[in-house]
């Protein structure tokens, strides 16, 4: 018999089933209230380092505890240390949403607890991943020949893109090890994961060329072409270029069609990082965000960023799945299955063997919202950002620091950096809103990112009023 | 105002809150029943490739749908395609558990939807990760100087171990790219992720030495020493050895103390892959499973394998966190925070920037079960495996194919492979149990792995009866 501290109760996942029902229903009620009342919480945790760890026992628990005690500590100890990413006034980094249908799917996913490494190890997980990624591909207008696979994060998607690029350019790497001769290109505004991926893969940080951008922070194709020619003259081997559709600092969109032409000319793998911006292509009048992506070898879009899907879920597309597979397939005997071309084994396409059933939440979210409402929500985020930018422009103390192509506004008080730093700290310390920062052209810049399903006009009004008030105090 | 198709309802995560409450309570009731009645489901999905995808619309949804319709399709379409990893008669690969406290924590995690990339971006996520991993370190008896970090999978943990080893051995790799001169060692029974990690990092598949094993499938230290000396004579640079505490095929435990001595002699990074077996150290009389791990540079233990934690959660420990950080830290301006040594930014220690709040489920699971009950559960799994092995040995048609140090039994019908393959297929087709296979000494072998919290003696009796019956039919 299963050991249990609980006598003769019927157990569900190791817990008396009535205890599980009660605790889970209580958690559901708490979550419903939490989601409705999020505005009552400070967005940014108002704690100091060590505040939580100082309150928790140093010694690991010998005896089990009732679930009620754990839930109580969750509310009493954990919550005050949470920065509320699901808060409608979370405007930092990229604003995201753990939406209600996504939460339901994660609950079911945890209960099923499947590992979709092989088709056989959970057929529905593999097939739903293909179907849901096919739907998303249609929503953003990518061609049908793109094969889709879910990774955990865009950093991992980008690492796989670079690895596939290397497999194509230098197939002996797999057996012999990396060459130090390969060169990768991305703009100086590209995400740090491009450089980190190149470091991890053994391409080398020095072999990443950061191509200059124009006044709108978009990669300059002329500078890209020049860098490639310089490397070729020096006997180096250009192999990959990463273009970004929606950079992290300013959401600028690189001129992908021109970059694609250069990539084709020099036989480079073109990866389009649309982790944030790619989602905007769901809006018909913003489909241009992915202009040229159809010409890419791979594209990443993160539904956990701007498609209301709880973290983590990064959608990776490639028109060359056989190259990705050649880079990563390694099947030990205990995972060998009969070959069936319709039964794809997704573990063959990446570093990770274990695969959560992430497709379930994407399928729930896409079906629950549908494309029209999803587009309306994203459009509203862009409109809110535009509105905020207009207020910034109308206040002579402030200036915009970059164009606002999507749902992020980069702005600052005119003049030196230091008052801007103090402004950001004061605004965030209020707990009312949470903004982050970046540096553009050597100057400290505040960033307001809109992306939560519950964010409305009143929320950005609150942000703007708080910013104005703190600016007045600080000046 | 937030766009909504729902008129004036109060929204929670984009859904009318009453709809969310109703659907989530319904999901909870379904899960409770599911966990109690899992034995009524076929363990292995009884479907053919395309069965699910053929039933789903090819076109992505334009209009949103009520959540009830999605939940209904989950039950009607998805479930038949699920291989039930949470089933008490799931005996394939490694048997795992999405336990009740873990499910509750995943539900809360999805609602909070935090990203713990920086301490500031959710202090409680970072601090709870340190505390929970400290507790686990105590449970398995690792020294206090080990720093812990959670990755998604053991494959990723192992990749990070090898990357840190490389950073220590060849620090110029980060800037210049990988050298083709480094050599890595693991036994021929090591997990495929070791080789895959070496391929991804640009170490090269040919630079992975697969060290022979003894009759009990344990790495032979003499053969390791010899391989290292051979490589040194050839001018190569040995840099890392991966020892396994609980190999995937047979759960054999490499002689880590001897391997550690060799690693020290040659200044190799020693990584101990205890992804499955390390958990057994929670049982006092099995602490020897991690003998020598205290001497390692890094150790991985997967709570999502044998510590009742829903997938994914891999616990990585290293006594050299500064090396790991040197290999991976790359902080873009928009993520720069004030330095505070107590506020560790976990994104500095790996490829992934985004980090789910995985520590929450480990904390829930450890507190709910406590060490004593956890040890009792794991002990019962080992006892069940021993019992099963005794039945195998008592039946003259069968033989054990490997020792049974932990909770996995490798066995076969005496004689040729083909009847064994047919036996496995017939047993799995029954839906009553799900076993997997491996190959040992060139022969096809069946594997029965025990690891689900609900598995009891009746379940392995069912397995053995079914195996005996199919063996009788097939012979």
Segment A251-301, tens digit of pLDDT: 999 999 999 999 999 999 999 999 999 999 999 999 999 999 999 999 999
CB neighbour class for B216 (10 Å; exposed up to 12, middle 13-18, buried from 19): exposed
Q: Which two tokens mark A203?
A: 């391409």
Q: Which domain holds residue B453?
A: 366-473
Q: Is residue A324 part of a domain?
A: yes
CATH number of the domain where residue A386 is located = 3.90.1150.10
Nearest CA in chain A to B160: A200
Give the residue from A324, A356, A388 where a domain finishes: A356
| B262 and B347, same domain (yes or no) | yes
Among B329, B356, B383, where does a domain finish? B356
Give me the residue from B107, B179, B352 closest to A155, CB to CB.
Answer: B352
Same domain, A374 and A344: no
Domain contains A108: no
Q: Is B37 exposed, middle or buried (0-12, 13-18, 19+ CB in 10 A)?
A: exposed
Q: Which residue of A has its CA nearest to B455?
A: A2
Q: B475 at the A interface (CB within 8 A)?
A: no
Total tally of structural domains belonging to chain A: 2
- B86 within a domain of the structure (yes/no): no
Q: What is the pLDDT of residues B36-80, one digit of tens each?
A: 999 999 999 999 999 999 999 999 999 999 999 999 999 999 999
B174/B242 same-domain check: yes
Check residue A1 and give its pLDDT: 36
User: What whole-number distance in Å separates Cα of residue B347 and Cα of residue B362?
Assistant: 19
Of the two residues B336 and A51, the one the predictor is more confident about is A51
Residue A3 has pLDDT above 70, yes or no: no
Q: A42: which 2 tokens? A: 């400070």
Check B369 against A14: CB less than 8 A apart.
yes
Residues B341 and B371 in one domain: no
- Indicate whether A431 and A406 sit together in one domain: yes
Dump pLDDT digits (tens) for B163-184: 999 999 999 999 999 999 999 9
What's the helix, strand, coil split of chain B in %, to 5?
50, 15, 35
Give the tokens for residue B404.
Answer: 């049974």
CA B293 – CA A84 distance, rounded (Å) = 38
Residues B73 and B79: their CA atoms lie apart, in Å, by 9
Beta strands (DSSP E) in A212-310 are: 237-244, 269-273, 298-301
* Closest residue by Cα to residue B220 from B189, B266, B251: B189
Domain boundary residue among B330, B356, B382? B356
Mutation site, A30, A94, A103, A454, interface B, largest B CB count within 10 A: A103
Confidence band of A37 (pLDDT split at 50, 70, 90) = very high
Q: Which of residues 370-399 of B touch A (CB under 8 A)?
A: 370-373, 376-377, 379-380
Q: Are B152 and B173 part of one and the same domain?
A: yes
**Residue found by looking up tokens 């480079």 in the block:** A268
Residues from chain A that touch B447, judged by Cβ atoms under 8 A, are 334
- A244 touches A154 (CB < 8 A): no
Among chain B residues, the shortest Cα distance to A63 is held by B370
Point out which residues pair with A352 in neighbouring strands.
none
Residue B38 lies in a domain: no
Size of interface A-B (CB pairs under 8 A): 587
Confidence (pLDDT) at A381: 98
Chain A contact for B429, CB < 8 A? no
First to last CA, chain A: 71
Angle at A382 between CA A376 and CA A385, to 5 degrees: 140
Nearest to B377 among A3, A106, A249 (CB): A3
Chain B residue with Cα closest to A18: B32
**Residue B133, both tokens:** 């991993």
User: Is the CB of residue B286 less than 8 Å from the CB of residue B251?
Assistant: no
Residue of B nearest to A454 (CA): B2
**Considering the domain boundaries, does residue B380 fall inside one?**
yes
Q: Which two tokens stand for residue A79?
A: 């919550």
In this prediction, residue B3 carries a pLDDT of 42
A102 vs B contacts (CB less than 8 Å): 13, 110
Q: Does residue A339 register a pLDDT over 80? A: no
Answer yes or no: do A336 and A378 share one domain. no
- Reduced to 3 states (helix: H, G, I; strand: E, B; else coil), residue A421 is helix
Domain shared by A221 and A249, yes or no: yes
pLDDT reported for residue A338: 73
Task: Report how far residue B277's alpha carbon sits from residue B138's, in angstroms, rounded to the nearest whole number.
Answer: 16
Residues A220 and A323 in one domain: yes
pTM for this predicted structure: 0.97
Classify residue A79: in a domain, yes or no. no
Query: Alpha carbon of B104 to those of A63, B100, B107: distances in Å?
Result: 19, 6, 5
Residue A296 and residue A403 in one domain: no
How confident is the model over B258-291, as pLDDT tens digits? 999 999 999 999 999 999 999 999 999 999 999 9
How far apart, in whole angstroms, are the C-alpha atoms of residue B447 and residue B286? 22
A334 and A207 fall within a common domain? yes
- Residue B105 located in a structural domain: no
Output the domain CATH number for residue A133: 3.40.640.10
Instruction: Spell out which residues of chain A touch residue B36, defining contact as CB-CB under 8 Å.
Output: 10-12, 17
Question: What are the counts of helices (DSSP H) followed by strands (DSSP E) for chain B?
Answer: 14, 14
Does B438 lie in the same domain as B298?
no
**Alpha carbon distances (Å) from A276 to A261, B304, B322:** 23, 30, 31
Categorize the per-residue pLDDT at A61 as very low, low, confident or very high, splitting at 50, 70 and 90.
Answer: very high
Those residues whose C-beta lies under 8 Å from the C-beta of residue A243, and which sit 6 or more positions away, are A186, A187, A219, A254, A256, A259, A260, A270, A271, A272, A273, A292, A296
CB contact under 8 A, B152 and A352: yes
Does some domain include residue A91? no
State the pLDDT at residue A2: 42
Measure A162 CA to nearest chain B CA, in Å: 10
What does each C-alpha distance from B223 to B216, B219, B226 come to in angstroms?
15, 8, 5
Taking only the tens place, the pLDDT of each residue in B81-102 is 999 999 999 999 999 999 999 9
At residue A5 the predicted structure's pLDDT band, cuts being 50, 70 and 90, is very low
Q: How far is CA B299 from CA B81, B285, B317, in A?
A: 35, 20, 5
CA B338, distance to chain mean position in Å, is: 35
Q: At A211, is the pLDDT very low, low, confident or very high (cuts 50, 70, 90)?
A: very high
């Amino acid at each position: 018999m299963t050991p249990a501290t609980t006598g003769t109760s019927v157990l569900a996942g190791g817990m008396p089933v009535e205890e599980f029902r009660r605790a889970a229903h209580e958690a559901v009620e708490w979550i419903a209230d939490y989601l409705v009342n999020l505005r009552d919480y400070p967005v940014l945790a108002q704690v100091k380092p060590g505040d939580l760890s100082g309150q928790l026992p140093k010694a690991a628990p010998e005896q089990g505890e009732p679930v009620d005690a754990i839930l109580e500590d969750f509310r009493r100890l954990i919550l005050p240390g949470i920065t509320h990413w699901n808060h409608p006034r979370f405007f930092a980094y990229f604003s995201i949403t753990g939406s209600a249908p996504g939460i339901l799917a994660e609950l079911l996913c945890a209960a099923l607890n499947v590992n979709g490494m092989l088709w056989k190890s959970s057929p529905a997980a593999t097939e739903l991943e293909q179907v849901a990624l096919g739907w998303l591909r249609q929503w953003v207008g990518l061609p049908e020949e793109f094969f889709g696979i879910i990774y955990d994060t865009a950093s991992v998607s980008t690492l796989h893109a670079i690895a596939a690029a290397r497999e194509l350019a230098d197939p002996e790497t797999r057996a012999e090890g990396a060459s130090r001769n390969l060169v990768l290109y991305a703009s100086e505004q590209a995400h740090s994961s491009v450089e980190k991926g190149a470091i991890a893969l053994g391409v080398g940080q020095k072999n990443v060329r950061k191509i200059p951008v124009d006044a709108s922070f978009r990669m300059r194709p002329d500078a890209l072409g020049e860098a490639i020619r310089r490397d070729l003259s020096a006997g180096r081997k250009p192999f990959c270029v990463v273009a970004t559709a929606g950079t992290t600092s300013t959401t600028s969109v690189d001129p992908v069609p021109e970059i694609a032409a250069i990539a084709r000319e020099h036989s480079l793998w073109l990866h389009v990082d649309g982790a944030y911006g790619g989602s905007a292509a769901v809006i018909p009048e913003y489909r241009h965000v992915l202009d040229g992506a159809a010409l890419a070898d791979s594209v990443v879009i993160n539904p956990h960023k701007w498609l209301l899907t709880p973290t983590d879920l990064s959608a990776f597309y490639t028109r060359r799945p056989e190259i990705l597979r050649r880079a990563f397939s390694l099947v030990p005997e205990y995972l060998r299955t009969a070959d069936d071309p319709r039964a794809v084994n997704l573990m063959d396409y990446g570093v990770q063997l274990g695969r959560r059933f992430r497709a379930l939440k994407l399928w729930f979210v896409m079906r629950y919202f549908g494309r029209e409402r999803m587009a309306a929500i994203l459009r509203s985020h862009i409109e809110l950002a535009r509105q905020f930018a207009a207020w910034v422009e109308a206040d002579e103390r402030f200036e915009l620091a970059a164009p606002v192509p999507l749902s992020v506004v980069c702005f600052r008080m005119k003049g030196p950096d230091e008052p801007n730093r103090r402004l950001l700290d004061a605004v965030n310390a209020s707990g009312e809103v949470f903004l982050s920062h970046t540096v553009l052209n050597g100057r400290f810049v505040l960033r307001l990112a809109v992306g939560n399903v519950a964010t409305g006009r009143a929320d950005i009004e609150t942000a703007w009023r708080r910013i104005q008030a703190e600016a007045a105090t600080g000046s």
